[in-house]
Amino acid sequence: MVKEIQEVLPFMSYGGDYNPEQWSEDVWLEDARQMKNAGVNLVSVGIFSWAVLERQEDEFDFGWLDKVMDILHQHGVGVCLATATASTPAWFTKKYPDSVAVDKKGVPYSFGSRQHYSPSSPSYRKGISKLVRKLAERYQNHPALKMWHVNNEYGCHLSECYSEHSLRAFHDWLKEKYTNIEGLNEGWGTNFWSQRYNNWEEIDFPANQVTFYNPGQMLDYKRFMNDKIFELYKIEKAILRAITPDIPIFTNFMYQFKPLNYFEWAKEMDLVTWDSYPDPREGIPVSHAFHHDLMRSLKKGQPFFLMEQVSSHVNWRDINLTKKSGVMRLWSYSTIARGGDGIMFFQWRQGRAGAEKFHGAMIPHSNREDSRVYKEVSQLGNELKKLDSLVGTKIDAKVAIVFDWENWWAVELEGKPHNDLDYLSRVETYYKALYALNIAVDFVQPKDDLSSYEIVIAPMLYIIDEAEVANFETFVKDGGTLVVSFFSGIADKNDRIHLGGYPALLRNLLGLYVDEFVPYEHGKEQLFRSNIDTYSCSMWTDMIRLKGAEAIASYDSDWIKDTPAVTEHTYGDGKAYYVGTEPESRWVKEFVSQLAANKAVVPPLTVPVNVEVTKRSGNSGEHLIFINHNENDSEIKLGEGNSYTNLVTNEVISQNFSLKGNDVAVLLLSTN
């Protein structure tokens, strides 16, 4: 049986992607020495090594990798061994032209960058199976092997394929889903625009069409592509699990990555890992904190790894700003604060050639150990050694935000009343308020058990089904506080309207109906007033008609003046709120704050503004983690009666302490 991560890696993991095949053998020993010096204890090896592992079909060359594995092991560095399937070699694409993905115009992609394989290609599937089996068989007993790193950033550049193989696979997928063609016709509403199908073979891709797409077809295509790519992962996993049943397996996820439903994927991961590259222009990277919380939530609170970050600057933005001194450390602690047990970089040694040579690394081009970058990398690596007690500890959240990939896909299909709704931004509206309040938050799916939460917030839950509605009803009936935002409850899982008045199945729970949508253009604002103050809102308003709910805020201008903007409905032992517009952030913060107060949901500690504080607890004790995003020192008031050790400085702290600007603290509660 697969081992727990904390069993395999019973410490804060630290390291990065390591691509020794780009360097001559004499550099490898230098690498290992510098890794050790920098506190590195884990690296990912071989992510893009297919071409040098299988140089021609069936000509395998593992000699170099054997040496690398041995050297790393000798220096105490563990290995996430990559399966090397992230990009097919040139010989493979020429020998198996069907392995190459095809664009929307029917043109196959060229070889020469990466990830050009078609997720539906039988030859690609055959090719990776052979390679993965060889790797697993060879390294199954190597002492350096800690985990399997499957492929890399699935779908990163290519999450849509329009090849003949993909079309046949799409037909099969639809057949599997709808059983008979009438089911598909009903599901896609093909009596619209004369789109009725008589058989599966008549179905084209939703690509190169003359005008608006069929939304049902588009939504199914997104599901289909997610499934096809997910199959690739599962093919590799099955082989690896069979040969090395106790080695954890994962692939690395990405930031704001819409094509893949990571909640589904996480079920097949032994560890959630993701790659985070906040743009320094963002200032405090709240949206990355959002993703840390999301990643932790994918496997119900189990610690995750930051699999890639950059020491200095990336090279794939238009302009690639450099993280100032200290920022890399600060943002690394954001991972730890939100449940991360590993901090990894892309990559170990900055490349000499190729498309990513200007992407920062732990060792810069100069190879200077007195470089700013290497010094900061080493400092952090050695500092993390003091934090092993955090490993395996968890965060206890009483607030959940509903996050649902299917809604992300559906809301952003064309042809909506407002076509810039931007699912993520609407979720962030609520997340940012909770972040600013330092209230811990989990992300959940609409069907998840909600009983452990006091407050659940469901922003723009556009598609919904009866079971999900029942889940929310149970939650509220049992005393929970539910917040639902505008454009929720509108459509079914085929993106067909729930008839009878918006928000259809949610009307009973919310105690209202929406007569019509009144979207606003960019730059136009509406006013609404609560019993406290008047606020602005934008983007969208609903014409709400009350059927049991009460208005707790109403519009204050335009032709919908005096109709309800926000409503409260007592339902069973709980309360269901409906927010029919996009309010300014000041209101959201006040609103969320009031709901939390009503349910006695509190932050770990009340701290100055722009200081993050989180609590991680477990067998090793209770930790308070502080990150000061201010340039200046902040005074932290711990209150009376407890004593802590700051693991970073080894200082003992009781009551109050001053946290330096851009500094961090990890306080372990003394248990005397």
Footprint on residues 342-371 left by a copy of itself (CB under 8 A): 350-358, 364-368, 371
Is 114 annotated to bind ligand? Answer: yes
Q: Which is nearer to a copy of itself, 355 or 597 (CB)?
A: 355
Give the shortest CB-89-to-a copy of itself separation in angstroms.
6
Tell me whether residue 279 or residue 633 sits nearer to a copy of itself (CB atom): 279
* Tokens encoding 374: 């290497």
Nearer to a copy of itself, 214 or 530 (CB): 214
Closest distance between a copy of itself and the C-beta of residue 558, in Å? 8
Beta bridge partners of 60: 54
Tokens found for residue 273? 């890992």
Total Cβ atoms within 10 A of residue 392:
18
Q: Does 234 bind a copy of itself (CB under 8 A)?
A: no
Bond into 503 cis (ω within 30)? yes
State which of residues 21, 412, 465, 525 lies at the interface with a copy of itself (CB under 8 A). Answer: 21
- Taking CB under 8 A as the criterion, which residues in 236-275 touch a copy of itself? none
Neighbours of 240 (CB within 10 A): 22
Q: How far is the CB of 419 from a copy of itself (least distance, A)?
A: 5
H/E segment holding residue 252? strand 252-253
Contact between 56 and a copy of itself per CB under 8 A:
yes
Considering only residues 561 through 580, tell me which ones interact with a copy of itself, judged by CB under 8 A: none
Annotated ligand binding at 180? The verdict is no
Instruction: Determine if 318 is a binding residue for a copy of itself (CB under 8 A).
Output: yes
Q: Give the separation between CA 407 and CA 256, rounded to whole angstroms.
A: 14
**625 near 665, Cβ under 8 Å?**
yes
Residue 118 has phi, psi (to 5 degrees) of -85, 130
- Return the closest-CA partner of residue 117 out of 97, 91, 95: 97
- Annotated active-site residue 651? The verdict is no
Cα→Cα distances 48→22, 86, 113, 153, Å? 10, 6, 11, 12
Are 294 and 403 in contact, with CB atoms under 8 Å apart? yes
For a copy of itself, which residue of 90, 242, 532, 597 counts as binding (CB under 8 A)?
A: 90
Nearer to a copy of itself, 117 or 290 (CB): 117
**Site membership for a copy of itself, residue 505 (CB under 8 A):** no
Query: Does 559 participate in binding a copy of itself (rule CB under 8 A)?
Result: yes
In the window 110-129, what residues touch a copy of itself (CB under 8 A)?
110-116
Distance (Å, whole) CA 39 – CA 41: 6
161 marked ligand binding residue = yes
Letters for 618-647 (x = contact with a copy of itself by CB under 8 A, - = none) are: ------------------------------
440-459 residues near a copy of itself, rule: CB under 8 A: none
- Beta carbons within 8 Å of 333's beta carbon, 6+ residues apart: 625, 627, 664, 666
- The one catalytic residue among 54, 160, 236, 308: 308
Identified binder of a copy of itself from the candidate list 14, 18, 48, 230, rule CB under 8 A? 48
DSSP per residue, 178-207: HSSHHHHHHHHTTTGGG---SSGGGPPPS-
At its nearest, how many Å lie between a copy of itself and the CB of residue 160?
11
Contacts within 8 Å (CB) and 24+ apart, 466-473: 466/505, 469/505, 469/506, 469/509, 471/446, 471/447, 472/446, 472/506, 472/509, 472/576, 473/508, 473/509, 473/571, 473/572
Is 296 labeled as ligand-binding? no
Does position 652 interact with a copy of itself (CB under 8 A)? The reply is no
- The only residue of 496, 529, 589, 660 in contact with a copy of itself, by rule CB under 8 A: 496
Annotated binding site for substrate: 114, 152, 316
Report the catalytic residues: 153, 308
